[in-house]
Amino acid sequence: MSRIVGIDLGTTNSLVAFMDKEGPHVIPGPDGQTKVPSIVGLTDNGLIVGDPAKAHLIRDPSHTIYSVKRFMGKGLDDVKDELKYFPYHLHEKNGVIRIEIGDKTYSPPQVSAMILKELKRRAEDYLKEDVSKAVITVPAYFNDSQRQATKDAGLIAGLEVLRIINEPTAASLAYGLQKKTQGLIAIYDLGGGTFDISILKLKDGIFEVLATNGDSHLGGDDFDQRLVDVMVDDMFQTQGIKVEGNPELMQTVRLEAERVKIRLSDETQAQAVIQLPNGTYEKLWTRESVESLVMDLVERTLGPCRNALKDAGLTASQIDEVVLVGGSTRMPLVWRKVEELFGKTPHSELNPDEVVALGAAVQADILGGHTKDLLLLDVTPLSLGIETMGGVMSALIRRNTTIPTSAKEMFTTYVDGQTSVDIHILQGERELVKDNRSLARFQLKLPPLPAGVPRVEVNFLIDANGILHVTARDIRTGEAQSVQVKPSHGLTDDEVEGMIRDSFQFAAEDIKARQIIEARNEANAIIVATEKALVRAANLISDKEAEGIRRILQQLGEVKAGDDHRVIRTKISEVEKTTHHLAEVLMDATLKEALESKKLSDVIK
Amino acid sequence: MEHQHQAQATTATSRELPMARSMCWHCQSEVTGEYLCGQCVKVQPLSRDLDYFACFQLPRLLNIDEQYLEKTFYELSRTFHPDFYSTKDESEKAISLGNSAFLNAAYRTLKDPIQRAEYLIRLEAGAVKDIRSNPPADLFEEVLELQETLETFRQLAPKGPSSDLEALRKKLQAEREHLEKRQAEMETSLQHKFNEWDQLQERAALSGQAREEKNTILREMQEILSNRTYVRNMVNDLLETMG
């Protein structure tokens, strides 16, 4: 059975990890870095992901996608307030956001799939085997649409997603495994774009989530934005520079804001420096100034913490340990606020960037049947219900119910001969339908009978991934009924299939693009080296030979602009053949030189 | 064709049998183990007739050992949770999912004393036909009056402090204290009924006869429970309005 990897698909950074006998490990890239920036660049030469894409962000922001996790499982209406901050155009199709890049459009799961593919490739290179199965983490407070979108992203990337697991619970697995902790723990997880709080009971290898709460739209990105707003305003006031409408500059300011914020976790002040077309912009930030700027955002995390405690039937003082997860918890302000609320010093021994990926690898090992003593019992973060008369939501499954869980509901008719009932599925805590999240709709078919006679039982099942499945059964006949659920903010099965096909096509294009880039790079290197050699060998070869070499070099220079890597390769080997004698002559000369300048004893030694 | 038809029919009936938990759905051997087939070690679907108390091997009592409940829940979770069936075939996955969902519902219900009592009443309801779920007239009048006072308060509050508002606040405060006292009384009498029920169950287990007495207790419990809901909603309304 092939190995299952654990993936932390983050707003800002993503990581992949695996588990062996020694425990979970994060897989580093060729440069030793474990974090892959969750950024995708669509360049003329193909797709780039991670660090190269981050560099691309400043050069070509309108072809570079970042923080795509914020768009997962969402419609345009959900993100309308922040549209102005993004350098690319968005539109909506079938309730799903589409990102416009050049003349192509991408759904958020497609973009996430590009990041997942990069992680898959990274794991395959490191483990030297095919990787086709994964556990992927999501914020605990993600709703059904967001979870489904993440699962779709895995499918598009060619991964079988064995489990969608909540980030704070994943962190608790890694933490509990390491510390052998027992008792009540709170996991405070503040990432790049999302906030989660989970309260767990750890006992004899069982990790039971008692309650979870959060804000799926609050994180480090929002902190950066506050700094950006101040600097953008400041640049206009002091130097008359309009950053809005200049996406390149806007991204430079955003990255600088992020850098300053990170720096202020260790230092008490930091200088922001932004290169402008004519001059520079500088601003000295102090830790206090940033803290007062983001204070309300950090305080916004405390409400969900109190609600989670309340739902768990606990008080803050009953919590044995508080664990911090996510890059944003490095901020001293966050640390202080959490300490104040729980009345104890929080833990952060494990790298807050890596602990979620490590936990996902542990869960992967459990699913693979290797780790048998640990079991995670998670909950559904939001209540699930259906629309009833008067636009009111009637809850079928309450939030913080241990999953898997199911609820049955009986449906009948109100009019003689009625043949269908419309069912609208919702998620959320509010009274009215309009204030909750619409998950899906479907039409239940009923036999044409007098009113009240048909009886169809619908079963709503939330599986261990937190994803909803709907089945129906006619009570009179006992027969199962197929249910065609149309997601309100999700891709249809057909769309996902299409995207999987496209992704193979992209993969082919990507390989082609990479081959061209590699061939071009090689051609450039050969041209430079040969020209250098010609200068050095000016007196060693005939003019005729030199002339012949220059001619073929020029030909190589011409073909390398084309987009067929085979033509470039053929020309490269021709150049190599033609310069064979030149290389020999130079080698001899070098050897002679070496021998002449040294004593015999030096050479033999 | 005919033969195939028959084969399908046989499968259909044998699919019904595992529900009775006498024959393994997979290898057709007699199931001797509790939840796993003794022959092929496949997980068996829980019987449709299984109730939450039986799932935890508990008698239908209202005072239960919470530590035992948790311990058993963890043990059964280790037996049924889908995490341990990830590499198994689709049928086993489906059984594990169904059993797990049932187990979680059972634990959730039994863990909470109120839900536990409500569930017990539903289980025994076959015998208790005339359980009333409307509030008694006096409570109903109280609800109406309180709603009116709250409405006046909500209208006055935004207009700033006044002697009328202060008087209303005092009245609501008094009402709240009265209701909270009533709530506490209900909790006590409910606990009293729990004990009565348990004692009767234990006696009945010996004599086998106590249907009428049982029904009386169930009815009384139901009444306290539904009144309790009204009072709790009123207190919540009060807390929300007065802050």
Closest-CA distance, B80 to chain A, in angstroms, reads 11
B78-84 mean pLDDT: 93
Yes or no, beta carbons of B104 and A403 under 8 Å apart:
yes
Of A162, A372, A403, the CB nearest to B86: A162
Q: Residue A41 is inside which H or E element, if any?
A: strand A39-43
Architecture of domain A4-218+300-377: 2-Layer Sandwich (3.30)
Per-residue pLDDT at A604: 52
Q: Which residue of B has its CA nearest to A1?
A: B87
Active site annotation includes A283: no
Mark residue A121 as left, alpha or beta (left: phi above 0; alpha: psi -120 to 50; beta: remaining).
alpha
Q: Cα(A15)–Cα(A7) distance, rounded to whole angstroms?
A: 6
Task: Name the band, by pLDDT with cuts 50, 70 and 90, for residue B5.
Answer: very low
Task: Choose between B208 and A195: higher pLDDT.
Answer: A195
Minimal CA–CA distance to B114: which of B240, B209, B227, B30? B227
Is the domain B2-111 a CATH 2.30.38.10 member?
no
- What contacts A271, CB < 8 A, 6 or more positions away? A260, A282, A283, A284, A285
The packing angle between helices B137-156 and B163-207, to 10°, is 150
Per-residue pLDDT at B15: 30
Quick one: what percent of chain B has pLDDT higher than 90? 27
Q: Cα(A562)–Cα(B134) distance, rounded to whole angstroms?
A: 83
Q: Cα(A291)–Cα(A333) distance, rounded to whole angstroms?
A: 7
Per-residue pLDDT at A336: 95
Q: Residue A195 is inside which H or E element, if any?
A: strand A195-203
Query: Which residues in chain A have their CB less than 8 angstroms from residue B77's CB?
Result: 206, 375, 377
SS3 A244: coil
C-beta atoms surrounding A286 within 10 Å = 13
Per-residue pLDDT at A140: 93
pTM recorded for the entire structure: 0.82
Q: Cα(A297)–Cα(A293) distance, rounded to whole angstroms?
A: 9
Active site annotation includes A337: no
Domain A382-489 fold: Substrate Binding Domain Of DNAk; Chain A, domain 1 (2.60.34)
Which residues make up the CATH 3.90.640.10 domain(s) of chain A? 220-295
Q: Residue A271 is inside which H or E element, if any?
A: strand A269-276
SS3 A134: strand
Closest-CA distance, B104 to chain A, in angstroms, reads 6
**CATH number of A220-295, picked from 1.20.1420.20, 3.90.640.10, 3.30.830.10, 3.40.50.970:** 3.90.640.10
- Residue ranges, chain A, pLDDT below 50: 603, 605
Q: What is the pLDDT of residues B164-194, one digit of tens each?
A: 888 888 888 888 888 889 889 989 999 999 9
Residue A53, both tokens: 């894409």
Per-residue pLDDT at B21: 52
**Signed CA dihedral, B193, B199, B202, B208: sign only:** negative
Task: Name the band, by pLDDT with cuts 50, 70 and 90, for residue B128.
Answer: low
Q: Which residue of B has its CA nearest to A406?
A: B101
Per-residue pLDDT at A343: 94
Yes or no, beta carbons of A401 and B104 under 8 Å apart:
yes
Of A1, A363, A405, the CB nearest to B105: A405
Yes or no, beta carbons of A406 and B101 under 8 Å apart:
yes
Per-residue pLDDT at B10: 35
Active site annotation includes A189: yes
Per-residue pLDDT at A278: 79
Active site residue: A60, A167, A224, A256, which one?
A167
Interface probe with B: pick from A377, A459, A465, A479, most Cβ of B within 10 Å: A377
Q: What is the pLDDT of residues A153-163, one digit of tens each?
A: 999 999 999 99
The packing angle between helices B137-156 and B211-242, to 10°, is 10
Using a 10 angstrom Cβ sphere, with 0-12 exposed, 13-18 middle and 19 or more buried, the burial of residue A271 is exposed
Closest-CA distance, A212 to chain B, in angstroms, reads 16
- What contacts B173, CB < 8 A, 6 or more positions away? B242
Per-residue pLDDT at B207: 67
Q: Cα(A135)–Cα(B82) distance, rounded to whole angstroms?
A: 14
**Dihedral angle of Cα A461, A466, A469, A470, to the nearest 10 degrees:** 60
Tell me how far apart the terminal alpha carbons of chain A are, to the nearest angstrom.
54
Interface probe with B: pick from A3, A166, A184, A206, most Cβ of B within 10 Å: A206
Per-residue pLDDT at A491: 82
Q: Cα(A367)–Cα(A359) distance, rounded to whole angstroms?
A: 12
Per-residue pLDDT at B3: 40
Active site residue: A35, A54, A69, A571, which one?
A69
Q: What is the pLDDT of residues B40-50, one digit of tens each?
A: 777 888 877 78
Yes or no, beta carbons of A404 and B97 under 8 Å apart:
yes
Per-residue pLDDT at A599: 57
Residue A50, both tokens: 């991670």
Contact B169, B242 (CB under 8 A): yes
Active site annotation includes A69: yes
C-beta atoms surrounding B7 within 10 Å = 10
Architecture of domain A495-596: Up-down Bundle (1.20)
